Amino acid sequence: MSLIEVKDLVYYYGMRTPFQVTALDHVNLSLEKGGIKAVIGHTGSGKTTLIQHLNALLQPASGQVLFHGEDVNATKESAYRIRFKIGLCFQYPEYQLFENTVFEDIAFGPKNMGLSEAEIDRAVRAAASYVGISEDFFQKSPFDLSGGQKRRVAVAGVMAMDPDVLILDEPTAGLDPRGREMILSMIRNYRDQTGKTVILVSHSMDDVAETADEVIVVNKGKIAMQGTVDDVFSRSAELSEMGLTVPEVTGIIDTLRAQGYDLPAGIYTVDRAADALYRYLTGGRTL
Amino acid sequence: MNENMIELKDVWFSYAGDDEGQKLPPVIKGVTLDIKKGEFLAILGHNGSGKSTLTRLCNAMSVPDKGKVFVEGMDTADETLEYEIRSKVGVVMQNPDNQIVATIVEEDVAFGPENLGVAPQEIRARVDDALKRVGMYEYRGHEPHKLSGGQKQRVAIAGVVAMRTDCIILDEPTAMLDPIGRQEVMHTILELNQKLGITVVLITHYMNEAVLADRVAVMDNGSIILTGTPQEVFQKDDILRSVGLDTTQSAKLAAKLAAKGIRLPGSALTPADFIAAFKNYSGDHQ
């Protein structure tokens, strides 16, 4: 049994109004436990709508979302419970910080779960360590932190609920290169240390290339592709048609390929591109 | 005739603290910079480096504690010139949702010229022209909140274009956009600079946007630490990295090849440059 099973899911915006639009069009998707899964698609593709169904924030017009085989919308109680199991961190989560101290903000989720003081303390410390926020920050106001730090505190707030699945919607949006690199390495650490499943929603193909174990491409309310990073990035022409831009090096290699250079497809990191070009120029020999 | 659009002369600035008379540590520390008429200048820096404060100083939203800022020769510290300065320098901010004021696209674009006291018929002509310039004319009757992020930013840019300012400062205008929206906005910015001759100051931390500029200035900790053409600035990748910035993937790829003993001719900051350089090299070596 898959960890998450999406079955024939249909969702409309403005249902039963003259402005009804199909947001999700009979989506089927299986997600296995573990690893970082990237959900990509351009604005309006339905990717955010899809992930909001995974923890029952939206109820489908038809179809089902199964978590460990159980329908997340079976009862009100199951929909409530699922939100602690599948933690969702929205875009620009730093706008949702509101407590007086960093500690209290991270503790908000665990408190709502009814944990004891000792358990809350343990959960907050663990989450803070995943995101690299040291104890020196615990008594500070979250509003005195830098943008990148605020975002890490907000993500820690979701991690502190110890969910089975952590969903992050555009976690690097608007960050500078240093902030972005910090968030991405923090996500990789979290995966490695906890073995949990992470779902990363992104339109940054560079982020996906650097972090994902599996890629799901959403286009026009349907799943257009699902596979390894290699599989998906080797279809760069199709990705471009869907309004997704491939990493700069992928574009370079593909342009050269189209002009008759004998280079492998599916290259998406600078290192691999350098190796491939080097091999091409030297014919396997060393210069 | 002054060749400079904006001149910053040894500018220092700090924000006021919570207590009366209290000043926080300076965020701009002795910046001297000339922004030439008609140029496209990119200002690079990580978050908190002082880029956005510099924007505020360039259109008299903030006034230096020490040093001077001149906009077309006008001292920004002279309060009587405030209106005139803002009619020369327009600003587009990062978040498109924070700068839309009207419920219909064309009304939003008309807001700036209305406030400048432009005659109604002239406003009509300017709004239509500005919306055509940014490729949003067909959306003139739409509600702004239903547009995509890239479209909203282009409406915000049209609002500045309709004010006929000589200079546009854009403070991370693409940070909240998806790749397509980012391309739309960059295309619009280049058009305004090249076709209308508007001076453009683009504040960004995307290297692949900065390489499109005529000149790049790098800020760190309130000071400008590097200026030059993109080719000159991006060669100093060690300095860029030390201040939390990066170079482009194309440049990184060229550097990796160089480390393996393959030195491509010329600069390779953009994919097109890289491909040209690679072809040159491979033609010469086979």
Amino acid identity of residue A78, one-letter, is: S
Write out the DSSP string of chain B. ---EEEEEEEEEE--B-SSTT-BPPPSEEEEEEEEETT-EEEEE--TTSSHHHHHHHHTTSS--SEEEEEETTEETT-GGGHHHHHTTEEEE-S-GGGS--SSSHHHHHHHHHHHTT--HHHHHHHHHHHHHHTT-GGGTTS-GGGS-HHHHHHHHHHHHHHTT-SEEEEESTTTTS-HHHHHHHHHHHHHHHHHS--EEEEEES-HHHHTTSSEEEEEETTEEEEEE-HHHHHH-HHHHHHTT----HHHHHHHHHHHTT---SS--SSHHHHHHHHHHHHHHT-
The pLDDT value given to residue A15: 86
Beta-strand relationship, B28-36 and B223-228: unpaired
Positive or negative, the CA dihedral A204, A205, A206, A207 is: positive
Comparing CA positions, the residue from B25, B20, B21, B15 lying closest to residue B64 is B15
- Decide which of A38 and B115 is more confident: A38
Q: Cα angle at B56 between B122 and A91, to 5 degrees?
A: 95
What is the DSSP-derived secondary structure letter of residue A144? G
Which pLDDT band, with edges at 50, 70 and 90, does A234 fall under? confident
Average pLDDT over residues B68-75: 96
**Nearest residue of chain A to residue B257 (CA atoms):** A274
Please give the share of chain B, as a percent, with pLDDT higher than 70.
98
User: Sheet containing A21-31: which strands, arranged edge to edge?
Assistant: A21-31, A4-13, A62-67, A70-71
| Residue A147 C-alpha, separation from nearest chain B C-alpha, in angstroms | 8
In terms of C-beta density within 10 A (0-12 exposed, 13-18 middle, 19 or more buried), how is residue B57 classed? buried
* 3-class secondary-structure state, position A27: strand
Which pLDDT band, with edges at 50, 70 and 90, does B123 fall under? very high
Element (H, E) at A91: none
Average pLDDT over residues B198-202: 96
Whole-angstrom distance, CA of residue B174 vs CA of residue B30: 28
Q: Tell which A residues from 181 to 240 touch B, by Cβ distance under 8 Å.
A: 203-206
Query: Does A244 lie at the interface with B, CB-CB under 8 angstroms?
Result: yes
Whole-angstrom distance, CA of residue B236 vs CA of residue B44: 13
Distances (CA, A) of B160 to A209, B7, B99: 37, 21, 11
Mean pLDDT of chain B: 90
Phi, psi angle pair for B106, to nearest 5°: -70, -30
Query: Does B275 lie at the interface with A, CB-CB under 8 angstroms?
Result: yes
The pLDDT value given to residue B184: 85
Give contacts of A274 with chain B, Cβ < 8 Å.
253, 256-257, 260
The pLDDT value given to residue B285: 67
pLDDT at position B2 over 80: no
Q: Angle of helix A147-159 relative to helix A102-112, nearest 10 degrees? A: 20
Whole-angstrom distance, CA of residue A270 vs CA of residue A249: 6
Adjacent-strand bridge partners of A4? A31, A67
- Decide which of A207 and A63 is more confident: A63
- Decide which of B228 and A146 is more confident: B228
Q: What is the pLDDT of residues B158-174, one digit of tens each?
A: 999 999 899 999 998 98
Q: What is the pLDDT of residues B265-286, one digit of tens each?
A: 888 899 999 999 999 998 876 5
Which pLDDT band, with edges at 50, 70 and 90, does A144 fall under? confident
Comparing CA positions, the residue from B246, B226, B249 lying closest to residue B237 is B246
In terms of C-beta density within 10 A (0-12 exposed, 13-18 middle, 19 or more buried), how is residue A80 classed? exposed
Whole-angstrom distance, CA of residue A281 vs CA of residue B178: 36
Please give the share of chain A, as a percent, with pLDDT higher than 90.
68
Which among A62-71, A201-210, B13-22 has the top mean pLDDT? A62-71
Under 8 Å between Cβ of A165 and A72: no
Query: Does B124 lie at the interface with A, CB-CB under 8 angstroms?
Result: no
Q: What are the structural domain ranges in chain A?
A: 4-229, 247-287
User: Nearest by CB to B176, which of A174, A244, A247?
Assistant: A174
Amino acid identity of residue B116, one-letter, is: L
Under 8 Å between Cβ of A119 and A110: yes
**Nearest residue of chain A to residue B282 (CA atoms):** A281
Q: Tell which B residues from 130 to 159 touch A, by Cβ distance under 8 Å.
A: 148-149
| Residue A40 C-alpha, separation from nearest chain B C-alpha, in angstroms | 11
Please give the share of chain A, as a percent, with pLDDT higher than 70.
99
Phi, psi angle pair for B220, to nearest 5°: -150, 130
The pLDDT value given to residue B266: 80
List CB contacts of A269: < 8 A, sequence separation 6 or more.
Answer: A209, A210, A247, A249
Average pLDDT over residues B226-235: 93
Q: What is the pLDDT of residues A167-209, one digit of tens each?
A: 999 999 888 888 888 999 999 999 999 999 999 998 888 889 8
Query: Does A274 lie at the interface with B, CB-CB under 8 angstroms?
Result: yes
Whole-angstrom distance, CA of residue A273 vs CA of residue A253: 7
Burial string for B81-110 (b: 16+ CB within 10 Å, else e) reads: beeebbbbbbbbbbbbeebbeeeebbebbb
User: Nearest by CB to B178, which of A42, A252, A261?
Assistant: A42
**Nearest residue of chain A to residue B275 (CA atoms):** A252
Element (H, E) at A180: helix A177-194
Give contacts of A206 with chain B, Cβ < 8 Å.
249
The pLDDT value given to residue A175: 85
List CB contacts of A237: < 8 A, sequence separation 6 or more.
Answer: A254
- Decide which of B149 and A68 is more confident: A68
Average pLDDT over residues B129-136: 91
Structural class in CATH, domain A4-229: alpha beta
Mean pLDDT of chain A: 91
Which two three-digit tokens encode residue A262?
């004998």
The pLDDT value given to residue A96: 82
Under 8 Å between Cβ of B208 and B270: yes
Amino acid identity of residue A39, one-letter, is: V
Under 8 Å between Cβ of A151 and A171: yes
Which pLDDT band, with edges at 50, 70 and 90, does A21 fall under? confident
pLDDT at position A126 over 90: yes
Which two three-digit tokens encode residue A17?
């109004």
Average pLDDT over residues A160-166: 96
User: Nearest by CB to B180, which of A243, A249, A277?
Assistant: A243
Give me the half-sphere count of Cα atoms (radius 13 Å) on the Cβ side of residue A97: 26
- Yes or no, beta carbons of A147 and B175 under 8 Å apart: no
pLDDT at position B28 over 70: yes
Distances (CA, A) of A45 to A198, A219, A232, B47: 20, 5, 17, 30
Which bin fits B21, alpha (ψ -120 to 50), beta or left (φ > 0)? left
Whole-angstrom distance, CA of residue B137 vs CA of residue B185: 15
Whole-angstrom distance, CA of residue A139 vs CA of residue A100: 8
The pLDDT value given to residue B48: 79
Phi, psi angle pair for A261, to nearest 5°: -75, 135
The pLDDT value given to residue A284: 57
